[in-house]
Structures are given as structure tokens and as C-alpha cells.
């Protein structure tokens, strides 16, 4: 089946070797501020970027269709620092699809979304003067790499922790030769175990048995000494549990009052509708990663994934946050979505670009952690939003941090969609 190639060059961002002030990825945060229409996060200073792709273009991520189907996402879009945030005034910027930094005090560029268990791939390039690192499961502004994060050191200078070591935790046995060429890391974090391969050779196999085990946190790129460059940063979530067995709707229920039909067809959930209807999970989640693949069998059809939703009833079938599904665009411009666009948080913020097409399978990745919500479509991040509304039991009215159901929407008589490969992973919450 034809499918667009959504290739997206992801480049890493730099983070601090000398850890500082502790701030954890925000667990359920309380706020009395008014809702923000849209939030775009970039580095604090010198926002020099590669040109934004033209409006009719689907940006390339570098991910293959097979990798997208397997759950890989790009953490850097190749032209901006959307989805990243700096913790000081390092001159983070993007040139020709590469994240660079070469001046300013030591500091980090971090993902705005925290992650727990994952496989990470990235390229980096050093100079003889460079001392840098990649921070894993880190606080926003860590003080001690032996407690507040896992710092994968990137440094060809003579140092106590050569490239591939975890600063303050584990030294590699055989230091790798210095290089000023592009080098590639593959890192895997699963529970207390961290493995890393540099240029195809395993250099690290570490199990954290200490009291300072980190279970969740940001990914950070460091600028410490000398210039540093990152590119092609990709992440695949691990420990994802299937919530649709492909055979029947065990674990799901049709919400009372629904006027939609949900049935299993060819190992997918197929939905059609007379009027709105919802199929919701019996289980609930609060802080989690969710992935699912869908196809709209028509033009500009309307559906969505609801989450942290109150249990549905005839009086209130869908009181939750909604990741929108709607592939319509205005004026043939993908930066002008109709009806908020696929990947938007409906009624809260629009997708910055419509990446998916009708009549083609596309994969949605949702991160919900505290008040922060992010969405990737086919590996390309389209939403990065913080809910700053006053707390409320109903997400339609305010910030909800409590666990809720995930549900699929049948919208109207044109509804005709298929869903498959639905998976969830719970994200642990740790206090600073």
C-alpha cells in the first residue's frame, strides 16, 4: 500500500557534564494560569535554524516505513529546536540539519518530554577540544551525574571517564580511538540496565544496583568545553504493552449511548457511525506513552484518541483530552490544518503541520506526563503543549492529572477508520 515517507532528521542536543540545580520532569503540576493556545519550545538564545520546509512538504525524518511501524520517533526535526529546551544560554542552533553549540557556559539542551525505557540512536562529532555528553533519565538541571542522571560521556581528551563511560558510575574498559569524524551511538535503557554500542562495537554494559537508580527523565545534550554537533537522533519506546489483541475487543467496552459500530476486521478495530460513539479501555492511565496506527478510509474524516477520560456514560461519552485525527488542510498547505489537524490536542492547540494522509496508515505517538503533552505523527513531532488551566476533574474544563480511560471515536455518518497496533507504557513518577 502506498505510504508517504515521513523522514525526519533528528539531531541530539547538548547537556551539562557538570550537573547543577535539580528539577525533575514535572510530575502532576498544579497551575492557575489561563490555557495557552499553542506552545513552541526552542532554545533560549541564538535561535538560528535551517529554513522551515515549504507548506506542501512532509519533512523528512530519516526513518523508514518499517522503523515508523516499529515505533521509532525522531527527537529533532532537522530545521528547528521544537520539542527541546535549554537550561542556560548556550548558543544552541541548527545548521544544515545539525544541532550545534560552540559558546556559552556549560549547559544542556533537553527534550521537553521525559522518557523511561527506550532505545536511542544518535550521531555526534567532536573536536580535540571538546568535552561533552549525552544525559539520560536526567533532571532538567542536575547537580550530580552519579545521582541525578546517567551521563554518557563524549570526550576524546585524556579524562577519567572516556567516551562511552557513565560519569560517576561506570568506566569503559577499552577507550576508543579519538576521532573528528561523525560517530554513531546506540544506547538501550531497560529498567536498571544500560547498554551502549559505539560505531557498532559494544562499549558499555552496566546495571545500576545503587540507591540512585533513575527510572525516568529527560534526554539532554551537553555543551561543556569546545564545539559539539549532533544529528540523527531517534528513539524507540520499550516495554510497551499491547492493549488490543487483534482477535476481539477484550479489555474494551462500548460507551453507553454510542451510535457507532466497533468491530474487529482483519485484525484491526473498524469503526463506522450514525452519530458519535466511543470505544474505551477498561484500564486507566495517568502518565504514559501511547502508540497506535490508524487509517481513515475517506477524505478529511474526523476521529480521535481520547485519554485521561472520565468513564463514559450516556450523559457524558467523551470527557477527556483528545488527540485529533483529521488530515484536511487549507490552500494545499500542510502548515494550515483544517479542524486543528492530526496530532493536535483538540480545542487546546493545533498541530504545527499535517503529516499524515487519508487512505494511508499512519502511526501516532502520545506522551502524557503531568501537565505536559506531546504528539508525534509518523515520527515527526507536531504538538508540544503544557496544560496551564486550573485543575478540574473533567479535562474539557481544566487540567486533569488523574488516570483516565483511552477511547476511540466514531464521529459522524462519514466515519470509516481502522485502528491497529495499540500499545501503552506507564511512565513512573519520581520526586526530585
Q: Are residues 196 and 341 in the same domain?
A: no
Please, what sign has the CA dihedral across residues 376, 83, 399, 289? positive
pLDDT at 42: 43
Asked whether the beta carbons of 351 and 383 are under 8 A apart, the reply is yes
pLDDT at 431: 56
Q: Are residues 416 and 269 in the same domain?
A: yes
Instruction: Give the C-alpha separation, 265 to 135, whole Å.
Output: 44
H/E run at residue 66:
helix 65-69
Instruction: Write down which residue in 237, 264, 279 finishes a domain.
Output: 237
Instruction: Give the C-alpha separation, 151 to 143, whole Å.
Output: 12
Q: Which three cell numbers stand for residue 283?
A: 484500564
Could you list the residue range(s) of the whole structural domain that residue 398 is in? 243-426
- Tell the burial category of 431 from Cβ atoms under 10 Å away from its Cβ (0-12, 13-18, 19+): exposed
pLDDT at 359: 98
Asked whether the beta carbons of 420 and 269 are under 8 A apart, the reply is yes
Q: Are residues 267 and 216 in the same domain?
A: no
**CA distance to 62, 155, 382, 416, per residue, from 58 (Å):** 12, 36, 12, 24
Q: How do strand 288-296 and strand 362-369 relate by DSSP bridges?
A: antiparallel
Question: Which residues have C-beta within 8 Å of that of residue 119, sequence separation ≥ 6?
Answer: 186, 187, 188, 189, 235, 236, 238
Q: Are residues 201 and 306 in the same domain?
A: no
Q: Within a domain: residue 141? A: yes
Phi and psi angles of residue 340, each rounded to the nearest 5 degrees, phi first: 80, -30
Instruction: Give the C-alpha separation, 218 to 196, whole Å.
Output: 18
Q: Are residues 190 and 299 in the same domain?
A: no
pLDDT at 174: 82
Its pTM stands at 0.89
Q: Which three cell numbers stand for residue 158?
A: 585524556
Asked whether the beta carbons of 108 and 222 are under 8 A apart, the reply is yes
Q: Are residues 178 and 263 in the same domain?
A: no
Separation of first and last alpha carbons in the chain: 47
pLDDT at 391: 98
**CA distance to 11, 63, 157, 161, 382, per residue, from 235 (Å):** 11, 11, 28, 25, 16
- Tell the burial category of 173 from Cβ atoms under 10 Å away from its Cβ (0-12, 13-18, 19+): exposed
Q: Within a domain: residue 415? A: yes
Please give the tally of structural domains in the chain. Answer: 2
Divide the 432 residues of the chain into consecutive groups of 10 and give the mean pLDDT of each group.
37 34 42 33 48 90 96 96 96 96 94 98 94 96 95 87 94 85 97 97 96 96 95 98 98 97 98 97 98 98 98 95 98 97 98 98 98 98 98 97 98 97 95 50
Q: Are residues 250 and 338 in the same domain?
A: yes
Question: Which residues have C-beta within 8 Å of that of residue 148, sequence separation ≥ 6?
Answer: 19, 22, 138, 139, 142, 214
Please report, for the domain that includes residue 127, its CATH number: 2.60.120.560
Look-up: residue for cell 576521532? 179
Instruction: Write down which residue in 187, 219, 237 finishes a domain.
Output: 237
Q: Are residues 334 and 206 in the same domain?
A: no
Q: Are residues 287 and 159 in the same domain?
A: no
Q: Are residues 257 and 401 in the same domain?
A: yes
Q: Within a domain: residue 318? A: yes
CA atoms within 13 A on the CB side of 3: 19
Q: Which three cell numbers stand for residue 79?
A: 530545521
pLDDT at 49: 56
Amino acid at each position: 500500500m502506498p505510504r508517504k515517507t515521513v523522514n525526519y532528521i533528528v539531531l541530539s542536543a547538548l547537556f551539562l557534564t557538570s550537573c547543577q540545580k535539580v528539577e525533575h520532569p514535572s510530575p502532576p503540576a498544579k497551575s492557575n494560569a489561563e490555557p495557552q493556545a499553542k506552545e513552541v519550545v526552542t532554545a533560549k538564545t541564538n535561535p538560528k535554524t535551517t529554513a522551515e520546509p515549504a507548506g506542501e512538504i512532509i519533512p523528512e525524518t530519516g526513518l523508514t516505513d518499517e522503523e515508523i511501524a516499529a515505533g521509532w520517533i525522531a527527537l529533532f526535526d532537522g530545521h528547528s529546536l521544537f520539542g527541546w529546551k535549554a537550561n542556560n544560554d548556550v548558543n544552541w542552533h541548527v545548521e544544515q540539519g545539525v544541532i550545534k553549540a560552540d559558546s556559552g557556559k556549560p549547559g544542556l539542551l533537553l527534550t521537553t518530554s521525559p522518557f523511561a525505557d527506550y532505545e536511542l540512536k544518535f550521531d555526534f562529532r567532536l573536536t580535540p577540544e571538546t568535552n561533552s555528553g549525552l544525559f539520560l533519565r536526567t533532571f532538567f538541571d542536575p547537580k550530580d551525574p552519579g545521582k541525578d542522571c546517567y551521563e554518557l560521556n563524549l570526550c576524546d581528551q585524556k579524562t577519567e571517564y572516556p567516551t562511552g563511560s557513565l560519569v560517576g558510575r561506570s568506566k569503559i574498559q577499552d577507550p576508543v580511538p579519538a576521532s573528528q569524524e561523525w560517530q554513531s551511538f546506540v544506547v538501550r535503557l531497560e529498567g536498571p540496565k544500560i547498554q551502549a554500542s559505539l560505531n557498532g562495537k559494544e562499549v558499555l554494559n552496566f546495571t545500576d544496583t545503587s540507591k540512585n537508580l533513575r527510572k525516568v527523565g529527560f534526554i539532554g545534550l551537553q555543551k561543556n568545553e569546545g564545539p559539539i554537533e549532533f544529528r540523527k537522533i531517534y528513539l524507540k519506546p520499550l516495554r510497551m504493552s499491547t492493549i488490543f489483541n487483534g482477535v476481539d475487543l477484550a479489555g474494551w467496552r462500548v460507551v453507553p449511548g454510542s451510535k457507532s459500530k466497533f468491530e474487529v476486521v482483519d485484525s484491526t478495530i473498524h469503526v463506522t457511525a450514525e452519530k458519535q460513539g466511543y470505544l474505551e479501555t477498561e484500564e486507566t492511565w495517568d502518565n504514559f506513552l501511547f502508540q497506535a496506527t490508524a487509517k481513515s478510509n475517506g477524505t478529511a474524516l474526523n476521529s480521535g484518541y481520547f485519554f485521561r477520560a472520565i468513564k463514559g456514560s450516556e450523559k457524558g461519552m467523551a470527557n477527556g483530552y483528545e488527540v485529533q485525527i483529521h488530515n484536511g488542510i487549507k490552500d494545499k498547505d500542510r502548515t494550515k490544518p483544517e479542524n486543528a489537524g492530526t496530532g493536535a490536542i483538540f480545542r487546546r492547540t493545533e498541530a504545527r503541520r499535517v503529516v499524515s494522509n487519508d487512505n494511508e496508515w499512519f502511526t501516532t505517538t502520545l506522551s502524557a506526563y503531568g501537565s505536559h503533552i506531546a504528539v508525534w505523527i509518523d515520527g515527526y513531532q507536531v504538538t508540544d503543549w503544557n496544560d496551564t488551566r486550573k485543575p478540574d476533574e473533567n479535562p474539557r474544563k481544566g487540567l486533569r492529572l488523574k488516570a483516565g480511560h483511552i477511547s476511540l471515536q466514531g464521529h459522524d455518518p462519514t466515519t470509516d477508520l481502522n485502528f491497529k497496533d495499540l500499545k501503552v507504557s506507564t511512565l513512573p513518577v519520581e520526586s526530585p
